[in-house]
Amino acid sequence: MSAGPALSRRDVLRGATRPAPFLPRPPGVTAASLAACTGCGACVQACPQAVLALTPRGVALRPEAGECVFCGDCAAACPEPVFAADRRMAHVMRISADCFAHAGISCMSCRDACPEQAIAMQPRIGAPFLPRIDAAACTGCAACSASCPAGAILAVAREAEDA
């Protein structure tokens, strides 16, 4: 599983660092609006699912903690213009090679947990079905990630993010 772009030997010797890893954000938070986050924690306290956390870069969604139900309580509690009216996530979920199906273990917990039915199982002869996420149908709620016993489902940036 790749954590991000590779760091070359030359970059190490120059003291260059890797770019910060992708930070999954709550619904309606863009990269630009995240700059308005003061870190007050009102959104974290308001989240009934307890899936938000404060990071040095602002509020973040914790996919491993559970499913975001898009209730809007975080946006209502935030005193700053961090949350936009467009309640889409800036990420989708991706299944890594750590998935049990790649090791020959049958598991369909991600498919069963997905409220949008965005995960289909691809049949294989003589091996367990492979899960495939339809990025167009994925809301980024992270229900699949929270239910994955292998921890193989990660949030990745949408291909075309406006901000």
Q: What percentage of residues in the chain have a pLDDT greater than 90? A: 74
What is the predicted pLDDT for the residue at 161? 47
CATH topology identical between 21-77 and 91-157: yes
CB 24 within 8 A of CB 84: no
**Distance from C-alpha of 150 to C-alpha of 30, rounded to nearest angstrom:** 29
pTM of the model: 0.80
DSSP-assigned letters across all residues of 76-137: HH-SSTTB-S----SEEEEE-TTSGGGGT----HHHHH-TT--EEEEEETTEEEEEEE-TTT
Whether pLDDT at 71 is above 70: yes
* CATH fold of the domain at 91-157: Alpha-Beta Plaits (3.30.70)
Delimit the domains of the chain by residue range: 21-77, 91-157
The pLDDT tens digits of the residues spanning 84-108 come to 888 899 999 999 999 999 999 999 9
CB 22 within 8 A of CB 82: no
The pLDDT tens digits of the residues spanning 115-161 come to 999 999 999 999 999 999 999 999 999 999 999 999 999 999 987 54
Q: What percentage of residues in the chain have a pLDDT greater than 70? A: 85
CA atoms within 13 A on the CB side of 81: 2
Tell me which architecture the domain covering 21-77 has in CATH. 2-Layer Sandwich (3.30)
Whether pLDDT at 1 is above 80: no
The DSSP letter of residue 139 is: -
